[in-house]
Chains A and B, each alone.
Chain A
Amino acid sequence: MISLLQNTVSLSGTVNWDWVFFGAFLLLMVAIVLYSLAIPQGGKRWWTLALLLGAFVLAGMAVGEGTLRVVFLDIAAFLAVALVWIADCPKAKDAARRYLILMVIAMAFIAGGLYLVEGKAPLAAPLDKIAAALLIVGFSLKLAFVPFYFWLPGVAEHSKPMTTALIVAVVDIAAFTELIHLRLNAGWVFENYATLWLVLALLSMFGGAILALAQKNIKRMLAFSTMDDMGYLLLGTLVGTQAGLSGALLAALGHAFFKVILFAAVGVAEFKNGHDLTIEDHGMAALYPVSAAAFIAGALGMIGVPPLFGFLGRWRLYLAGVEFGGWMFFIAMSLATGLALLYYVRVIHIVWLGKPDGEIVKGQEPKLAAFVLVVLMVLTLVVGLYPTWLTALIG
């Protein structure tokens, strides 16, 4: 296992993959902006913060590796905290406070760790251990790996859907690319502490899935599904082979798009219903058919059901898993995916499909929001069917 980890850390894409993420984030920002024009997420303050957040993430991707990138992405994370804070609700402020404290800890740890890690060669003892521990804790907090996930459920539950989408699909995924850079530049942090990273990956996959099953609030459930998915991304990063790294990057892209779709679908129902979507709501598909279709597509994409784009990343991650730990590892991964199917299907069939509680009034979905959802769905399908152009860029 360790020898495999030490063998290969490279990607054979034709361009710097940061630019692929730049393009993806730009596209998602456009989608979020259009959606938010149809379904208001907040006043001027929200728009200012959201656009600044997008700008800093894009700038972070554009500048490539280095301190400036870390600074830009950290500023984006603080803007995300502010987005949560401005929601007019005490619980949101409480969640923002928690988010802020834990992000500050995470950033401090990551900054300390990165400062110590100077190159590909391991540091002298005991600095190597300190650096590794700082980075493990820092990234676990920032990316909400289980059991370091405490900020995410509250943020997801008490924020506006597009705020949460910006956090989990843009800020988090941008932070995840930092982890990939770390894997490429200081592989020993992963190779020497593989067991610990592996435990975090497995805990996230299974813990996220199990906890998602227990949720009643749908946005909160989606937060736990993010942790579940982060487990897979971490696993691919840890394995570090061509399949592992490219799988993690492709899955991260898929995660970003599908999470925006999922939160946007939930947002339509919440906007029209005037309250949070929970498992007490029924038959939403009869009222919001496009959103229901989008939620189903997003869920299937998240668990990697072909022909949606999510399958490509999952396929490579499964391949990396088999390379890493043989068929037993694949069984573990597919069991976790099976759990993910159960929690998504539970929501699809309790909340979206079936008989609605009240009268059916059609045509309630804002057209622009529905248009955004349809475009994103078609995009993920088309890329899933013909992904070669993308894989050529990433490797």
Chain B
Amino acid sequence: VNQFVVLPLEALGVGILLQLALGRVLSPKAKGWLAFLTGLVALVRVLFLLPAIMQGKTIDATLFQWDQNAFLQYHVDGLSLIFALMATGIGSAILIYCVNYMAHETEGTTRFYVLMLTFIAGLVNLVFSANLLLVYLSWEVIGLCSYFLVGFWYKDSAATNGARKVLVMTHIPGYGLLAGILLIYHQSGTLVWTDPAVSAAFTTGIFVLMLIAAMAKSVMFPLNTWIPEAMNAPTPVSALLHSACYVKAGVYLIARMYSMVHWPHAWNVTVITIGCVTILTGALFALAQTDMKRMLAFSTISQLGYIITGLGIGTNLGIAAGLFYCLAHGLFKGTLFLCAGAVQHATGTRDMRKLGGLAARMPWTARIWLIAAASIIGIPLTNGFVAKWLLLDAALNANLPIVVVVAWLVSVITAIYMLKATVSVFYGEEPEWLKATKVHDAEPSMLAGLGILGSLCLVFGIAPQLLFRSLVTPAVNALGFSQDVSLTWFGLQTSSAGVQVTLGAAIAVIAVLIGWMVFALVQPRAQKTNAGVFTGGDPMPLNGGMNAEDFTVLAETTLAPVYAVTNPDRVYFPLWQTIKKAAAWLGKVLAPLSEKYAVVATVVLALIVFVVVWLG
């Protein structure tokens, strides 16, 4: 079995080389099919590892030496497999979607597919690596892939500005991971995280450093502001970045720290706190968006908060909830992004203020969107419901009512913004400009991509135990927790079932109902009705209900103080300005020395050195 470890990476490597070799002769579509086949082969090869992992085994392999004490060394366990499957599985679905989506690109398609495959390979290598230095190497490789992919349309300033922010905001905190690795190596003399010496060397300082790196990658507050700016990338990039290959790297790192060391309670509290704040801030910002992809980006922040909170709870059920949520999020967020991409592809815009009534013109896209939207809200029969259910159950069992309140409150907010998006884009009356535009449903390969992901949201909502037994349980065991959670059909019953669980279900249902009611209240009445919407004062004019824009204005007005306080860019921007001003000032002061008085200044400096040496 051991040699199977390299097979997925080998497949991806061959695919990358083929793209490079055949780039000039293949059409964009052919490159897309080649990339999809590469992803599929890699997925199958990851699945080869599943039987051994399900039996509780781990797979180790050592290839070659990279540097002193740094070997290309792999250790695959249940946790690795979850993330590798997400990368190759969801990645393949996204790649098949790309076939048509990228077919009309006139340049850069070889670059695009090479980067997409490298992105997937980077995550697989990250989660397979036993050597921490190679973990960092993979960490940065996926960082670079995201930078280049977000800036794929490099002649478009909006895209490159987004890419710039991605690089700066994630690379600099990434030094936290490198610092942690250096300190571990300095203390323990090993770079292999499976070595017991790592545990003894692992201090709170190292935990904090690694957490900072993970927070930036996984868009935790306050290192979350890069992700909305990355939305000018091609949609498949956004989908891969959000669902499988980028933000999940941080989740992996946080989970992996359970393998390395036993967590003191304070670490759990820290992670839960960060998770809860992130859940709230992401959702509040999502409310105010009018751009579909930006709204989904903020919802990613919020959903990642749920995942991290689950992991932070640190009980058997909490870890299981976090990992199941991670898988569920990969599926529904991938689907939502691909749907948004299909809408943009068909209409040329993703501005919800300009859209409406697309369900009639894009019926399949609308149906699949509805499934994924139901999933992110947490409606029963979807995997999102099971994930939220488990999380609430874990929080209640761990006696963390604050987590339950935050999760419930944000479920309501999620329902509101997702319903806003659904109604604004797919229902209501079609705008005049759209009526005059030729709009068609997503093309077959695109529908295949989003259909696969959307249907899995239902499959794992109806039969979550499939995912639980094969993937979640081995992963929970790999992190040193004993698996005492079992799940039945629909996820309705866990082994820890009780009053709390029923309460959790009730909360989820109430969240949906409240969301629906709030949005229904602000919708325009049928045109035949003369009754205005009650606003607490004068009636609104006929047909004057709220649309996406009004809704956004309402959110912005009402929540303005909250947005002001929770926008970390208000700190980062002045910091950058200060550095720039200091640099300009220093440059201005020193320029004459360099240009006019170089020799005099050198003599003075030399004298200073002589004096210092003499006195020293």
With A211-B583, A349-B160: A305-B602 Cβ-Cβ less than 8 Å = no
Contact assessment for B137 and A342 in the assembled complex, using a CB-CB cutoff below 8 Å: no
Residues of B within 8 A of A237 (CB): none
Known: A141-B602, A150-B598, A305-B171. A319 touches B182 (CB 8 A): yes
A306 and B140 form a contact (CB under 8 A): yes
Cβ of A151 and Cβ of B598 under 8 Å apart? yes
Q: Closest approach, in angstroms, between the C-beta of A165 and any C-beta of chain B?
A: 21
Q: Is residue B436 within 8 Å, beta carbon to beta carbon, of the partner chain?
A: no
Q: A286-B155, A388-B65 are in contact. Are A133 and B584 (CB under 8 A)?
A: no
The range of chain B's interface size is: 35 or more
Structural contact, B179 and A342, CB atoms closer than 8 A: no
Contacts A211-B586, A334-B175, A349-B161 given; 17 further ones with Cβ under 8 A? A98-B598, A102-B598, A129-B614, A150-B594, A150-B598, A211-B587, A305-B171, A306-B140, A312-B67, A318-B182, A330-B182, A338-B172, A345-B167, A349-B164, A353-B163, A355-B156, A388-B65
Residue interface mask A352-364, B partner, CB < 8 A = 1: 0111100010000
Hey, which chain B residues are within 8 Å of A129, CB to CB?
A: 613-614
B540 within 8 A of A: no
29 of the cross-chain contacts (CB-CB < 8 Å) are A98-B598, A98-B599, A101-B598, A102-B599, A102-B602, A129-B613, A133-B613, A137-B605, A137-B610, A141-B602, A150-B593, A151-B598, A210-B583, A210-B586, A214-B583, A305-B140, A327-B179, A334-B179, A341-B167, A341-B168, A342-B168, A345-B164, A349-B163, A349-B164, A353-B151, A387-B66, A387-B67, A388-B66, A391-B67
A92 to B: closest C-beta gap in Å: 13
Chain B residues lying within 8 Å of A126, measured Cβ to Cβ, are: 614
- A147 contacts B583, C-beta separation under 8 Å: no
Main secondary structure of the interface of A (DSSP, over half): helix
Which residues of chain A in 134-158 are interfacial with respect to chain B, using CB atoms and an 8 Å cutoff?
Answer: 136-137, 140-141, 147-151, 153-154
C-alpha spacing A285/B107, complex, angstroms = 13
Asked if B616 and A196 make an inter-chain contact with CB atoms under 8 angstroms apart, the answer reads: yes
Decide if B586 touches A214 in the complex (CB within 8 Å).
yes
* Bound: A139/B151 CA distance, A: 42
- Closest B residue by C-beta to A213: B583
**Distance to closest chain B CB from A269 (angstroms):** 15
* Closest Cβ neighbor of A283 among chain B residues: B155
Partner-A contacts on B (CB < 8 A) = 64-68, 133, 136-137, 140-141, 144, 151, 154-157, 160-161, 163-164, 167-168, 171-172, 175, 178-179, 182-183, 185-186, 205, 576, 579-580, 582-584, 586-588, 590, 593-595, 598-599, 601-602, 605-606, 609-610, 612-614, 616
- Contact call B140/A353, Cβ cutoff below 8 A: no
A185 at the interface (CB under 8 A from B): no
Which residues in A have some Cβ–Cβ distance to B below 8 Å? Answer: 98, 101-102, 105, 109, 126, 129, 132-133, 136-137, 140-141, 147-151, 153-154, 193, 195-196, 207, 210-215, 283, 285-286, 292, 300, 305-307, 311-312, 315, 318-319, 322-323, 327, 330-331, 334, 337-339, 341-342, 345, 348-349, 353-356, 360, 386-388, 391
Max chain A CB contacts within 10 Å: which of B64, B167, B601? B167
